[in-house]
């Protein structure tokens, strides 16, 4: 066991391991690209849905259950299915990652909107605010902490799952995991897994710190 971790440490700190198209820096950049793009697309889909159903109270049951269905889909199976249907492209990976990210964003956005005190909304309407003004000037600012939590959870889930890109012969940190399995190289497998875990933890800590800074002076 000691020898395994010693070899893992050497694998991670070797200078040559960080350079080139198969280097850690390049694979890390690919992994971040996949994760950030998928999360942005998911947010573009899920935020309007969550805001709408939270503001109007209509369609909540259908939207929440559809998003939960997306979470229940087997990610690798979905990638393979879309991959076979669409051919050699990154679309299957992005579709699977977006489907994984949407539920957290929808449910947290909806929860944030419904958590806004009804008296606050009634007071805003009593001051003559129109529906869109209540939504964007009252409900949305108050719901932002939960919305950001949903975005953070979605991004971490996507980062952890983006290794599937390597399953269909693309890049990212999952390349080390799948190549290591094919070559029976346990050190490379562990190296890829450690890098994914570290990236997820770093992003989680960074986004948590950003939330604390943004909402530090938020009234109780």
- The whole-angstrom separation of Cα 53 and Cα 99 is 19
pLDDT tens track for 135-161: 888 888 899 999 999 999 999 999 998
| 107, two tokens | 């449910």
Q: What is the CATH number of domain 2-214?
A: 1.10.3720.10
Q: How many CB atoms lie within 10 A of CB 127?
A: 10
Grade residue 220 by pLDDT with cuts at 50, 70 and 90.
very low
User: What's the predicted TM-score (pTM) here?
Assistant: 0.86
- For residues 159 and 32, give the distance between their C-alpha atoms in angstroms, rounded to a whole number: 7
């Amino acid at each position: 066991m000691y020898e395994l971790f010693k070899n893992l440490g050497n694998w991670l700190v070797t200078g040559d391991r960080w350079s080139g198209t198969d280097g850690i820096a390049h694979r890390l950049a690919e992994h971040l690209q996949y994760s950030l793009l998928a999360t942005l697309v998911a947010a573009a889909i899920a935020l309007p849905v969550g805001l709408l159903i939270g503001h109007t109270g209509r369609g909540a049951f259908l939207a929440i259950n559809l998003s939960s269905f997306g979470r229940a889909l087997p990610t690798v199976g979905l990638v393979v299915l879309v991959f076979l249907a669409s051919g050699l492209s990154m679309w299957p990976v992005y579709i699977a990652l977006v489907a994984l990210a949407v539920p957290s964003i929808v449910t947290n956005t909806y929860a944030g909107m419904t958590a806004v005190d009804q008296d606050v909304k009634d007071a805003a309407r009593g001051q003559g605010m129109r529906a869109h003004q209540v939504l964007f000037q009252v409900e949305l600012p108050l719901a932002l902490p939960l919305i950001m939590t949903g975005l953070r959870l979605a991004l971490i889930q996507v980062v952890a799952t983006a290794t599937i890109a390597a399953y269909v012969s693309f890049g990212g940190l999952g390349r080390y995991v799948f190549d290591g399995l094919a070559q029976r190289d346990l050190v490379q497998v562990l190296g890829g897994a450690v890098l994914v875990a570290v990236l997820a933890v770093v992003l989680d800590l960074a986004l948590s710190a950003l939330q604390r800074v943004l909402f530090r002076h938020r009234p109780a």
